[in-house]
Amino acid sequence: TAAPAKQSAVERYVLFVGGVFYANLAGIKWFVDNVASRIQVKVIVVGRGFEQYKAELERNGNVEVVGTVDSMAQWYLNAEFVIAPIFGGSGMKTKVAEALMFGKKIIGTPEAFSGYESVTKRVGCVCEDAGQFETAIEAVSAIDNARFDADLRNIYEKNYSIDAARKRLLDIMGEPL
C-alpha cells in the first residue's frame, strides 16, 4: 500500500476515491478519456483494485493510480478537491460524505449527488458533460484556498455523521436525545 507523497506547492492534485466497482470504473475511465488531458491539475485515483488499471488510466500522464491504501486520510487531506464522475449505481455515494467529512468540495455528476440535493449547491458543482467538468475544475482550481473548508465539515457533522444518524433514529423512535 502506498503512502501519499509530501505535499508541495507544485504537487497539487484532485482525488478520485472508490474501489473497482462497475460505476467507479466506468466513471473514472470516462473522466480519463474525456476530461483529464484537458485540465491543469493531476488526478490521483485511490481505491482497492485500481492497481490493475494503472496502465490504462495513466496513459496521458495527468493521472496517477495509487490503488489500495491502508488509510484514506492523508489522501483526502492533501487533495485540492474531490471528483465524482459517477453515472450509475444506487443510493447515496459514500465518497461524497467522506469528502465532506474532510472539508472538501466535490465536482461530480448528478448521480454522485443523489441524496445530497439539499446541500449540493453549497458543497460542490454538478456536471453533466466533459465541458462542464473542465470549467468547474478550472474555476475551483483557480481559487487559492485552504484544503479544508470548515463549512463543508459542518454540513457533514449536521447531516451525514454517525451522530446525525443517531439523532434522526432517536427522533423517529420518539426517544429523548
What is the tens place of the pLDDT at every residue in 5-23?
444 444 789 999 999 999 9
* Among candidate residues 111, 113, 112, 123, the one with its CA nearest the CA of residue 158: 123
Question: For 54-103, what is each residue's pLDDT tens digit?
Answer: 999 998 889 999 999 999 999 999 999 999 999 998 888 989 999 999 99
Q: Give yes or no for a contact between 23 and 87, defined as CB atoms under 8 angstroms apart.
A: yes
Show Cβ contacts of residue 97 under 8 Å, excluding neighbours closer than 6 positions: 156, 160
Q: Read off the pTM.
A: 0.85
Q: Write down the mean pLDDT value for the chain.
A: 89
pLDDT of 71 reads: 93
pLDDT of 7 reads: 44
Copy the grid coordinates of residue 12.
497539487
pLDDT of 125 reads: 94
